[in-house]
Amino acid sequence: MTTPMNVESLKQIAEQALDLAKKSGADAVEVEGHLGQGMSVNILNQQVDSLEYDRGKEFTITVYLGKKRGSASTNDFSLPSIKRAVAAARDFATYAAEDPYSGLPDRHELAFSPPNLDLYFPWDITAPQAIELATACEARAISLNKSLVKSDGAGLGSHQNMYLLANSEGFMQHYASSSYEMHCSVIAEKNGEMQSESEFTCAIDPADLSTTDFIAEEANKKAVARLGARQLPTQTLPVLFVNHAAVSFWKYLIAAAMGGNIYRRSSFLLDKLGQLILPEHISLLEKPFLVKGAGSAPFDDEGVYTREKTFIDCGVFNTYFLSTYSGRQLGLPTTGNAGGVNNMVIESRQTKPLADLIAGLDKGLIVTDTLGQGVNIVNGDYSKGVTGFYVEKGKIQFPVEEITIASNLKDMYQKIVGLGTEQDYRYNIRTGAVLIDSMAVAGS
């Protein structure tokens, strides 16, 4: 990496902070360092709308006095500033309430020899080059249907990060990562009706980004297809979430299995371990070591080694997702999930291409986007505004909007009758389309 991302200077600061904290009387210490740099450009109507460079750094120092915990952060890496942050963290710990579950992970859980996942792919793209790509993307999008479509902007982002974690158990590890993104948004207009749609590509390796033409054409196609959207009469229908819309559908299941929600008893998955909660042909596997995976990581936010695990095994709920703290609350070991899950892959022995799932619908609703917050993780109640398409006799009839779908997550997961083969690799959750047997659809 370039000089601002030099990990050696980060290590020296971490060692200083650890030493200062231990000399101040701390029983245990953790230090976390971040370095980042990036660029983003946005284009509107073939003109530069914004061009931003960012460079950030932060050090967070956490000290433990027995079972009392205090933290302080600084973006000034000078020795006097580090000393002040250590002193502040110690002061906070002095006045904190004791927490019996507080503390560093057990030493044997720490990733002293983490795998090298190769998550950093440098791209020395210049601002003029980024502007040229974003401008070409926008120009392509509006050229396809000049009488119908106008631009809502296009852009490109490039970011590089360095993360270091160390503690008083002798643990000090780091890894670098990169992320790149390109997007295009358009507005289709006809007879006074306006529909806005967008498309994006993202990857940790710029070689894996979709082309500007693909992004532009997808955004254009999606916006034009939305013209003529209408409501549906209230009824019960099969509901098919396309792959990117299905990502949030699985997020709720993962959130319900998070240790924090379990020990607070605020999850519809309470007391469900070992029970069948999905159809038997479906399994969910966490795979933190996937090459170029959006959620790949060698260790979690506490330095605990990440690990592959089967979250759902042939429909059976197999494990919670635990940090050290939530695990201690439940009397269980950490699962290496401080900070969340790392690459959840949805697998099934019964999948079909999306086109075949649609062709099999006598009547149904395709959901392309969900709107609003209407999900209750505690009891599973689900109610969302959606946009998409109405299907009859296996064919898309027209786009729909201003409708709501409702059910309960416990029922929805049991009522999965189809999964698509085409998985979306842009997200931390890799899933194909998901077909739910029936849901209430509220419209006109």
**Angle of CA points 29, 325, 378, to nearest 5°:** 145
256 is written with which tokens? 């319900």
Domain ranges of the chain: 3-226, 235-442
pLDDT on residue 2: 39
Q: How far apart are CA 109 and CA 333, in angstroms?
A: 9
- Which amino acid appears at position 359 of this protein? A
The 10 Å Cβ neighbour count of residue 2 is 9
Q: What is the pLDDT of residue 254?
A: 97
User: Which DSSP string do the residues of 207-258 spell out, in sequence order?
Assistant: GGSPPHHHHHHHHHHHHHHHTT-B---SEEEEEEE-HHHHHHHHHHHHHHTB
pLDDT in the model for residue 146: 84
The CA distance from 157 to 202, in Å, is 9
Element (H, E) at 171: none
Residues contacting 72, CB < 8 A, separation 6+: 60, 61, 85, 86, 88, 89, 92
- Report if pTM > 0.75: yes
User: Which CATH entry fits the domain spanning 3-226: 3.30.2290.10, 3.40.228.10, 3.30.230.70, 3.30.70.141?
Assistant: 3.30.2290.10
Q: What are 138-189's pLDDT values in tens digits?
A: 999 999 988 888 999 999 999 999 999 999 999 999 999 999 999 999 999 9
Radius of gyration of the chain (CA): 25
Write down the pLDDT at residue 87: 96
Local structure of 444: helix, strand or coil:
coil
Residue-by-residue pLDDT tens, the chain, 444 positions: 333 457 888 999 999 999 999 999 999 999 999 999 999 999 999 999 999 999 999 999 999 999 999 999 999 999 999 999 999 999 999 999 999 999 999 999 999 999 999 899 999 999 999 999 999 999 999 999 888 889 999 999 999 999 999 999 999 999 999 999 999 999 999 988 999 999 999 999 999 999 999 999 999 999 999 999 999 999 999 999 999 999 999 999 999 999 999 999 999 999 999 999 999 999 999 999 999 999 999 999 999 999 999 999 999 999 999 999 999 999 999 999 999 999 999 999 889 999 999 999 999 999 999 998 889 999 999 999 999 999 999 999 999 999 999 999 999 999 999 999 999 999 999 999 999 999 999 987
Q: Please, are residues 248 and 419 in contact by the beta-carbon 8 Å criterion? A: no
Task: Report the pLDDT value the prediction gives residue 155, as an integer from 0 to 100.
Answer: 98
Q: How many CB atoms lie within 10 A of CB 336?
A: 29
pLDDT in tens, 325-351: 999 999 999 999 999 999 999 999 889
